Structure 1
Amino acid sequence: MAKPVVPEAARRRRRSTKQGVVLSERLIVETALRLLGHHGDTGLTVRRLGAALGADPSTLYRYFRGTDDLILAIADELIGQAIQGWRATGAWQADLRDLGLRLHSAYLAHPQAAVLAASRITGRPNEAATIEAFLGVLRTAGFPPAEAVRMYRALVDLSLAFAALDSATLALPPAAHRADREMWRDTYGRLTADTHPHIAAVAGPLVACLEGSAYPLTLDLFLVSAAARLPTLGARDTTTSSDRIADR
């Protein structure tokens, strides 16, 4: 049976590590993010993390059950960075766009970590707060409960899918990144109208389209679709009695 993780308040070290710091869950997560940024996913080992913290690696098991538990904490930290300081304005499309862009940007700020964490469910406070924020915007906009959940799932999956894709690109070694772009430019920028008339007709924009992420445009298209969908849901009031009471 796995050794239970000691609560944060009870596991705090009374003595400093070799580097003069007191261990905490947050410090371990921040150090793990730094290691991932420097070494990629292969750099996140208990031994290397212990060395970076100046602590015996076994001490880390007082905070996390293992590296997978640590990855969940890292994912929740990225989500927390995304939602920090966010406030709803009441303009539901703008609020959803802001939440989506924040989520995408937070993961892209730590691309090596994002590749590991974007697909995970943390069950931790920041994730719960973010779900509450998305659902709050959607329900306030007038989406019935079941539809609000579907829209939430679609929007978050869209945001995290692009976060994982864009992060994987950013995490590539510089040489591989350059090679991919050169391959795109040299292949699709030189096809002729004789063989590929549509590609040749848009060669300039097509070559340039790799600059930046397609996520903002895709997010805007999603929100336009959501706005068009909302009026069609008005006649289908699927709220329960308890929902109506809670909304008053």
Structure 2
Amino acid sequence: MSASERVVREGARRRRRPTKQGTVLSEQLIVETTLRLIGEHGAAALTVRRLGAALGCDPSALYRYFRDTDELLLAVADELIGRTMRSWRPTGDWRADLRALGLRMHADYLAHPQAATLTCARVTGRTHEIRSVEAILGVLRGAGFPDAEAVRIYHVFVDQTLSFAALDASTLVLTERARAQEVRTWPDTYARLPAETHPNIAATAGVLVPEMDRSGYPAALEMVLAAAAARLGHVRPTAP
């Protein structure tokens, strides 16, 4: 029997007996355990043997919930999206709503940097992702963007957020030594370059060094929102 044939319906998945740790397996429990293990071990956590040991069950039991570890990774990706969507409350102000959602998405991914590096590029097609796509398009269409513009802005907004999340997460998962070196490079190298050979760096070093010590995402998000607002002024129908 193939792995796909072993996956059973949600209602039939519940174990009749608790695991060795006294818990009853569920898709949510497996996803949360996987997310925790990824935070501790990175991609190495995505093995049925390690997950089975953490859950106190036979590794083969996991195939009743997920066809393979890639499907499990997609569920983890969707769980991260779900955590953001559960805490986001739209207000009706499209620009404020997208700002709040983008910043929240970025922060939620950085709270799980190991998982972010594994999931930011994935399309899950699962419940929470579908809800997020519907919600963002709803914000844009409700603001008056024509459908083609709404889709284009949605695409840029989401890809920008996920790209910065992956970039910033990749820094957080560096070793302490590597991260310390990254931090030191700007003041120790760039701030000391002479104006004779590097006039532009030298002239801006006082601003450049502190700027590069933080994420560029908030500023990039504001640029996208400003561009979208300007575009809305061109495409929104005006009253005669």
Band the TM-score falls in, shorter-chain normalisation: over 0.9
Q: Which residue in the other structure is 1:139 paired with?
A: 141
What code does the residue aligned with 2:21 have? Q
Give 2:91's aligned residue. 89
In structure 2, the residue matched to 1:227 is 229
Moved over 3 A (4+): none
Aligned residues: 236
**Amino acid in structure 2 at the alignment position of 1:51:** A
* Mapped contact 2:106–2:162 kept (Cα < 8 A): yes
Task: Give the whole-Å Cα distance in 2 for the aligned partners of 1:159 and 1:7.
Answer: 34
Q: Indicate whether 1:44 and 2:46 are aligned.
A: yes
Preserved CA contact (<8 Å) 2:78 2:129: yes
Match of 1:153 in 2: 155
How many Å separate the matches in 1 of 2:15 and 2:214?
Answer: 44
Contact 1:188 1:199 in 2 (8 A): yes
Residue 42 of structure 1: how far off its partner (Å)? 2.0
CA contact (8 A) 2:117 2:169 kept: yes
Do the aligned partners of 1:82 and 1:105 also contact (CA within 8 Å) in 2?
no
Deviations 1:21-69 (A, max 9, x none): 1111111111111111111222322111110111111111111111100
Q: Which residue of 1 aligns with 2:69?
A: 67
SS of the residue 1:30 aligns to: helix
Distance 1:163 1:9 in 2: 35
Separation in 1, partners of 2:179, 2:89: 37
CA distance in 2, matches of 1:235, 1:31: 50
Output the CA distance in 2 between the equivalents of 1:161 and 1:105. Answer: 13
Determine helix, strand or coil for the equivalent of 2:4.
coil
Corresponding residue number in structure 2 for 1:28: 30
> Are residue 3 (structure 1) and residue 4 (structure 2) matched?
yes
Unaligned runs of 5+ in 2: none
CA 1:185–1:45 in 2, change beyond 3 Å: closer, same or farther? farther
The 3-state SS of whatever aligns with 1:3 is helix
Unaligned runs of 5+ residues in structure 1 are 237-248
1:53 alignment partner AA: L
Aligned equivalents of 2:220, 2:208: Cα separation in 1: 17
Note if contact 1:64-1:70 (Cα within 8 Å) is conserved in structure 2.
yes
Counterpart AA for 1:184 = W
Separation in 2, partners of 1:224, 1:119: 25
Deviations 1:103-122 (A, max 9, x none): 11111111000101001010
So what's the TM-score if we normalise by structure 1?
A: 0.92
Residue 2 of structure 1 deviates from its aligned partner by: 4.3
State TM-score, norm by structure 2: 0.95
